[in-house]
Amino acid sequence: MDIKKIEDHDAAALFLSGVKTFLTLDSHIIDELSQHMHESDFASGDHLITKGTPGNHMLLIRSGSVRVELDNRNIILSKGAVVGEIALLSGKPRQANVIAETPTKTFILSRDNFQTLMTKHTQLASAMTALMKSRLDADNGFRTVGKYQILEVLGEGGMAIVYNAYDPDLDRHVAIKMLKYEIACKPDFKARFKQEAKTIARFQHPNIVHVFETIEAYATAFIVMEKLQGEDLKQHMQKHGAFDSQQTCRILQQVAKALQYTHNEKNGGIIHRDIKLANILLLQDNSIKLMDFGISSNTNTTSDSVGGTLQYLSPELLKGDPIDGRVDIYALGIVAYFMLACKPPFKITNMQSAIQHHLLETPPAIELTVPSVTPNLIEFITKAMVKNPEDRIFNYDEIIHLLSDEASINEPYDARLHLHFEQKNVKLESLIRDIEKLLHKHKIPNTVALELKEGNYWIEK
């Protein structure tokens, strides 16, 4: 193969911008790709790729056609096709011969340049995620990860794609989560993932999806887990609407027990970091399974560039402060609000609005949106969504009690609440805040009587 420098980078960039794999890339990324590529010509019958050789480059076909010789069939590819990217990603030897059917011109990108560019540009990583997904989905793709046979896509989120797969050794179906390259190509990801994956695979809790193993392949990570019949809370609400207070408590209590288990230092002290509706699976017997520990981290760590879902991010995560399990509690408060109101407490569309709402704005009172909500859920949501993690609820005995059937009983109350203060000097602002909390909690519409030692004070709403 005669490799030479590209003479006309503008023409190369124009060609790359029309390649299906790169259609989503900004022009400056396309230009940088062209600067890192070389070109080569092949005569009919020449091998572009030879089976068994190292996967140190991929090729884009500029003109001509090639034949990919697989074990049981041949595939013809032409202008705009990408070949050799799987071996490039995996670093493993080539699995097939690629032979020029006609005189063929190609662009070539080396493994080192490719890895550098993918780490630098999230858009390119996203493009490779889409390409990998198409290879796993297509009939002419490789459709295997380790010993597992990929069958179909079950779902896709911001961090991963989940596949239905078959384990031929144990004759069972499993779910396999492929972490997207946008996550997997982060510089410190692999080392951290290896360590934490071992811990997660040891989890044995009735409310946590059981992980069988993790596999590193194709320059990303695959998590093999039990396949369960059910739907996540997001899917359930799209079909059936909001949950009532009793249903919400029963689901959240199970999530809280799962988090109590993972946050315990004896079990690794693992923070989930992506608690949300889509990561809570509701089974047919109304039990739940907490899923997706793909971006989890140890407690008492510092948040990094691998985030979660903007709608659920705690203030300390957004600020890059040290974090612990309280980031999960904050997110669980948002889940609770979402389950009851069928909408999140804040309308967040981008990072700027996430910072504005999570750091600066007080969440709207859930009881103003859902008048039937029980006082214990109001208390949990209020305490879970406190901005300062030091003041946020984090005692699991208290959390689990608040979410219990016993606590969900809405006890009768008087239209006027009597608060007794031992101290004579009470700041008016603090007093008003306390009154407003009680008004919201007990849904009192107009007035409240305060019996202070100096006398009675009435505050009109």
Would you name the residues annotated as active-site residues? 274
Main-chain dihedrals φ then ψ at residue 396, nearest 5 degrees: -70, -30
SS3 43: coil
Token pair listed for 386? 């406190």
The partner residues of 288 in beta bridges, in order of sequence, read 282
Cβ-contact 393, 329 below 8 angstroms: yes
- Residue 12's contacts (CB-CB under 8 Å, 6 or more residues apart) are 6, 34, 37, 39, 107
d(CA 442, CA 350): 35
Measured CA distances, 432 to 203, 220, 437, 456 (Å): 46, 54, 9, 14
d(CA 271, CA 389): 14
d(CA 239, CA 233): 10
d(CA 115, CA 113): 6
d(CA 293, CA 274): 8
Give alpha helix (H) positions in 342-390: 351-355, 366-369, 375-384
Cβ-contact 307, 186 below 8 angstroms: no
| Surface-to-core class of residue 190, CB atoms within 10 Å of its CB (0-12 exposed, 13-18 middle, 19+ buried) | middle
